């Protein structure tokens, strides 16, 4: 099938960037979205032009590396789908697509569709860990965890850190990501030691980065390829206030 692509091209962080139009005369409907971009790049390389840079790694929907805005939606039109798992059969002959990078002050564009998501890493560094005793591994099932708690923590842990929540949010807020990371450890018995410090530090780091603030549009939940619930945002809000009122002077 024949497609027209409007792709954001930007030479580097200092470049102002522009939309460039590409005609794709022969796209196979069985291709994934990234394979379609590979095809575009092969053509560009043959013509001696600079290929379009985009992030990708596993191409099976679990790593969180890929992710672009497709027609104004993070990861494209399908719910619960990463860009690599979006297939061209969902488009029809003659469609015109707009492909842009995540837009966030906290995610500066590196090149074309590639953004720097290190702000997420800094949030994780601030508290995304648990303290454990060193030595041999503990026996399995040594620490009992109720089934519903384990399920809930696992739902939060499925976050792949792709940044779609920030990209889709009209405020560029990182509440869904941060709350998933805070909750996934904060719900489990192993994560209780640092529970209050964790929420304070991760939220403080989120706020130090250039993210916006939640206005409960619920766009993040709808765009999340893992379907992570905004319930975790509510839990983070609750834990954050509780952490402050439990120990108002704490500054660790």
One of 31, 130, 157, 222 touching other proteins (CB under 8 A)? 222
Residue 234 in the binding site for other proteins (CB under 8 A): yes
Q: Which is nearer to other proteins, 21 or 47 (CB)?
A: 21
* Site residues (CB under 8 A) for other proteins, limited to 169-208: 170-173, 203-204, 207
Cα–Cα separations (whole angstroms), residue 25 to 2, 65, 93, 163: 4, 28, 10, 31
Question: Quick one: which segment of 47-55, 66-74, 118-126, 181-189 binds other proteins (CB under 8 A)?
Answer: 66-74
Number of residues that bind other proteins (CB under 8 A): 48
Give the number of other Cβ atoms within 10 Å of residue 63's Cβ. Answer: 16
Q: How many residues does the chain have?
A: 252
Question: Quick one: which segment of 24-32, 70-78, 81-89, 136-144 binds other proteins (CB under 8 A)?
Answer: 70-78
* Residue 227 backbone class (left: φ over 0; alpha: ψ -120 to 50; beta: rest): left
Question: Quick one: which segment of 27-35, 44-52, 101-109, 110-118 binds other proteins (CB under 8 A)?
Answer: 101-109
Cβ-based neighbours of 115, under 8 Å, separated by 6 or more: 55, 101, 102, 104, 107, 108, 109, 163
Q: How far apart are CA 148 and CA 154, in angstroms?
A: 10
Q: How far is the CB of 72 from other proteins (least distance, A)?
A: 3
Question: Quick one: which segment of 35-43, 52-60, 112-120, 236-244 binds other proteins (CB under 8 A)?
Answer: 236-244
Residue 19 in the binding site for other proteins (CB under 8 A): yes
- Residue 70's SS3 state is strand
Identify the bridge partners of residue 4 per DSSP, sorted by sequence position. Answer: 23, 96
Q: How far apart are CA 41 and CA 47, in angstroms?
A: 10
Residues that bind other proteins (CB under 8 A): 6, 8, 19, 69, 71-73, 98, 100, 103-106, 168, 170-173, 203-204, 207, 210-219, 221-223, 230-231, 233-241, 244, 248-249
């Amino acid at each position: 099938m024949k497609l027209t692509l409007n792709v954001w091209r930007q030479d580097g962080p200092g470049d102002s960037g522009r939309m460039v139009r590409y005609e794709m005369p022969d796209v196979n409907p069985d291709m994934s979205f990234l394979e379609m971009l590979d095809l575009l790049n092969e053509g560009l390389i043959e013509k001696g032009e600079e290929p379009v840079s985009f992030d990708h790694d596993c191409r099976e929907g679990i790593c969180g590396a890929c992710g672009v805005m497709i027609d104004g939606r993070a990861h494209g039109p399908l719910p619960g789908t990463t860009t690599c798992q979006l297939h061209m059969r969902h488009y029809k002959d003659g469609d015109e697509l707009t492909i842009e990078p995540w837009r966030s002050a906290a995610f500066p564009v590196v090149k074309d569709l590639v953004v720097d998501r290190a702000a997420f890493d800094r949030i994780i560094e601030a508290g995304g860990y648990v303290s454990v005793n060193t030595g041999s591994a503990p026996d399995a099932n040594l620490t009992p965890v109720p089934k519903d708690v384990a399920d809930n923590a696992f739902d939060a842990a499925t976050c792949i850190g792709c940044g779609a929540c920030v990209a889709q949010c009209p405020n560029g807020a990182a509440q869904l990501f941060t709350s998933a990371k805070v909750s996934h450890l904060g719900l489990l018995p192993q994560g209780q030691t640092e529970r209050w410090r964790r929420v304070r530090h991760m939220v403080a780091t989120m706020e130090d980065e250039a993210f916006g603030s939640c206005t409960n549009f619920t766009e993040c939940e709808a765009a999340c390829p893992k379907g992570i619930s905004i319930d975790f945002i509510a839990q983070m809000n609750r834990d954050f206030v509780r952490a402050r009122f439990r120990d108002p002077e704490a500054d660790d």
